Structure 1
């Protein structure tokens, strides 16, 4: 496609591990045809050739965790026709959102030898808390097939076809025996957004919710089930408050352990 007619793609990073950007690079065979259809105007993980906006599609990884992030995310939004957040950090604040229920200044003092040089916010928040977002792609990291679907959909002018059912559906599709039923293994599959292909259950490990809650989450039923499977309240709290602490904590039933509290 001629350069002047190719849609412009920007990929941006905030507080994160880079894993979701690497998912795009891991597309391998699919990446070369994609690169021929779009102008990759900003993607520091792949190239130092940076071109200013506007961008037809911006993919944003990471949470807003510093004062500089606040200014930069608004600038990216203003330069973007469509903005899609990718990964648990960008959609729910990520692992670093665990600090939201604690004293961030105390953390800085413990971790850094000179905390006075660290300029960070007291909370880690998703991109949608600060600017309008056109679509959220969940996961830690995201699934490359879903990422390609999102990019293709927005460039084609349609809504991405990303299912919002639970991991349990994926287990059924691949013929994986239900771990809680067959082995009494604690598993968040019934309340977790699908997208990983039920990878952990396929290898005998219970789902730990890295894709966040699904649309039909029934947490009042889920927590007693986890207890029946041998989990103490503190273990349940830790399981829910990891990759998607903001989203899972928001749907805990009243009276259950909240973020930052013991079981």
Structure 2
């Protein structure tokens, strides 16, 4: 039986999610025996052409070349998993979705006519079918290993879809909003980080994007009660997953 092949690709992103895979270190030794890493430029210049059993894609689609490339990746991948806020929600660069990109180009670049870009920064799923989306900025290493292991074993990844509040309760953390009036996006944010920020007295700022079932409009009055005006709330939502929180961020 042939060894399954794994490919890792990068679009518009900071490389942080790929580095999460490299940071697995000891776990990678076990993984290396079960899979052939056929394409992973962050780790090796050796490249084997597809098809691939599993492709991980980091980064958002921001240029026509990105869109063409992700279609090619999809065509040669049995399973395609997007990793990180950029690939699953467009990333911080999706702030362009609510602005004039031509004006940005004229302001930033001396020769904007050289810039070939799309008006929006979109998740990979807006262009091709995706088998699974792993959220986070960056992603959680435990969840990443679970996703890779699951697809190699032919099963569905066991990734919870509840909110950060659930993780706070599991680790016994005091609710920063209830106890201290600290603005927190935990009630509407996807779990996976282990509720690190609330555990240290800081409100969640939504780096894992919206949870599976959320009521963000109901949270807005709570944020106002905690001292935030509409401008503060908008800035609170316009971070790693601005496109995912877009409706509320722009209201």
- Say whether residues 1:246 and 2:243 are aligned partners: yes
Distance 1:132 1:108 in 2: 30
- The gaps in structure 2 that reach 5 residues or longer are none
Equivalent position SS for 2:243: helix
Determine which of 201, 212, 223 is the counterpart of 2:198. 201
Distance 1:15 1:45 in 2: 14
Determine which of 117, 132, 136 is the counterpart of 2:133. 136
Aligned length: 251
What does residue 35 of structure 1 align with?
Answer: 32
- What is the TM-score normalised by the length of structure 1? 0.93
The 5 Å alignment of 1:61-210 reads 61-210=58-207
Determine which of 22, 42, 46 is the counterpart of 2:43. 46
Distance 2:182 2:110 in 1: 42
Distance 2:199 2:167 in 1: 10
- The gaps in structure 1 that reach 5 residues or longer are none
Deviations 1:41-98 (A, max 9, x none): 0000000001110000000000000111111000000000000000000000000000
Distance 2:6 2:94 in 1: 28
- What is the TM-score normalised by the length of structure 2? 0.98
Distance 1:214 1:67 in 2: 30
Equivalent position SS for 1:190: helix
Distance 1:234 1:151 in 2: 40
What does residue 57 of structure 2 align with?
Answer: 60
